[in-house]
Structure formats: C-alpha cells, structure tokens
Structure 1
Amino acid sequence: MKAHAFLLAAAVMAGGIGAACTAEYLTSDFPKSRGYSPAVITKGGRTIWLAGEGGNKDAAGHDISGNIEAQTKLAFDNIAQSLKLAGGSLDNVVKMTVFIKNVEDGNKFVALRKSFFPSGNYPASSLITIKDLAQPGWVIEIDAVAVIGDG
C-alpha cells in the first residue's frame, strides 16, 4: 500500500496545479433510475485515472469470493481511499467502467452504486458483463476517472 500511495502522490504532483473544477451532470429519467449520468462535463481541476479495483478478501481478511455486495463495497472503499490520497472523494468521480461476471448481479450493483453517491450526481458509467476477472472468486471490478479541483 505504501508503494501505491507513493505512486499516486507522485502522479498527482507531476500533474501540477490547475484551476478549480466544476462538473455538470447531464441527466434524464432512465439513467438516473439506474444510478448513472449519460454525460458529465468538467472544466478545470486535475484528472485522476484510477486502476481497476476488485478483491476477494475484505479489510478484515474475510473471504468474500462470489459476494457481489461485499466486493462492490470493497471496490468503492479502495477507490475512495485512493481519491483521498489525491485530495478528493467519490464525489469527484466523473466516469466509471464496471465489469461483472453475472448479469443477474447488475441490479444489485446499481442499488449499491446509488448508495455511494447520495447527492444524486452519478458518474457516467458503463456496466459490462464478462466471462472472468483477474482472480478466481472476483465477481466485479471497477475502474474510475475523477476530476479534483484545486480550490
């Protein structure tokens, strides 16, 4: 984790200082009900590209293989931790790509995602069903892009 924090900090510092960020979330009824925006327009700020997050062990080391709810929480917690190191939060996420193994988990994921964005400003998002993920037991992987203001 120390190496991860160092690399993230180095990447943020290399980006320099930019203007404060503004984000406009374009919405319509269907995407809003599914917990995403069809588009997010940003101006200013620093762009943070986050690696895919997933896992089959929670923070306490418990096996969460095959558990969409626990793995989704873990992924969002890890994304939030990386964003905190960069000076931001989940509120700064403007785009995410979500890979799930089971199409049946799609609605569960949507409900969970909405709980991580209580403001209703949902990131633009793709939800893709695939055959396998990086490790046995993983059922979800999330990568994200955030824009963090300097103001």
Structure 2
Amino acid sequence: MKKLISTSKAPAAIGPYSQANFANGILYISGQIPLNSETGKLVEGIEKETHQVMKNLEAILTEAGMTFKNVVKATIFLKNMDDFAVMNDIYASYLDQESFPARETVQVSCLPKNVDIEISMIAHQF
C-alpha cells in the first residue's frame, strides 16, 4: 500500500507528482530544488542552494519518521560539474559519516526553474 508523504516544511510539488511516497518500508523522495518553503523564493549560489535542498529533503524525511541515516540512495543533478566539490562537502555534512548512501551525480543542461542543483533520495525504514 502506498502512502503519500507531504509537509509544508518543504516546497509543494510544482507539477503532477508527490513530495514523497512510502511503500513497503521504502520512502521515495521526489527531486528537491532550492526553493525555500517559508518565503516561496529560490535561494541562489551553489552553497546556499545545496543547503536548502538538503533542508527540504530533511523535512520530508522527518515527516516520514526518518533521518538521513535511513537514506540508501541519492541522485544528484548539477547544471555545472564545476560545482561538484562545493556541493559534495555540504552534502556530506548532512549525512552519517559511517554509512554514506549509494549515489550518482550527473551534469544536466537544465533543471526546473533554472536552478543549479536537484537531489532525489530513497530511504528505507530499518
């Protein structure tokens, strides 16, 4: 059985999708962009953008009763791979240093609202 996960502490979906779906102990989180749910505005600059995306992901995980320790897989989309090192340090600072999730990072030509980063995650309820 699928359960929709939604929180006002992360941006509302801007299309026909859910913030996250929980099914069979697995949480599938849709790609998050650096939109501040309190102000409704995008943050700018890869450092601020990465922090905002991670905060959005954390809010959804919390709503589902999970933390970053539950994350088993992440997918990161960057508009510019030159931002990788900055993004990677900030991303790592939010995660359990003992058990990083599996991950891929790819450069793409364009992202929703022309942001520089989008991250989606899969978490498992242990």
TM-score (norm 2): 0.76
For 1:105, the equivalent position in structure 2 comes to: 83
Helix, strand or coil at the partner of 2:69: helix
For 2:118, the equivalent position in structure 1 comes to: 141
Divergent runs of 4+, >3 A: 56-63
Instruction: Give distance in 2, aligned partners of 1:54 and 1:63.
Output: 8
Task: Give the 3 Å change call, closer, same or farther, for CA 102–8 of structure 1 in structure 2.
Answer: closer
Helix, strand or coil at the partner of 2:118: strand
Aligned pair partner of 1:53 in 14, 24, 32: 32
CA drift of 1:74 comes to 1.1
What percent identity do the matched residue pairs reach?
24
CA drift of 1:124 comes to 0.5
For 1:116, the equivalent position in structure 2 comes to: 94
Instruction: Give distance in 2, aligned partners of 1:56 and 1:79.
Output: 11
Helix, strand or coil at the partner of 1:135: helix
Contact 1:98 1:143 in 2 (8 A): yes
Helix, strand or coil at the partner of 2:113: coil
* Count of residues paired in the alignment: 113
RMSD: 2.6
Which has the larger share of helix? 1
Contact 2:34 2:50 in 1 (8 A): no
Helix, strand or coil at the partner of 1:74: helix
CA drift of 1:109 comes to 0.9
Residues 2-151 of structure 1 mapped to structure 2, 5 A cutoff: 4-5=6-7, 11-12=21-22, 15=23, 46-57=25-36, 59-60=38-39, 63-65=42-44, 67-136=45-114, 138-149=115-126
Which 5+ residue runs of structure 2 have no aligned equivalent? 8-17
Instruction: Give distance in 1, aligned partners of 2:39 and 2:63.
Output: 21
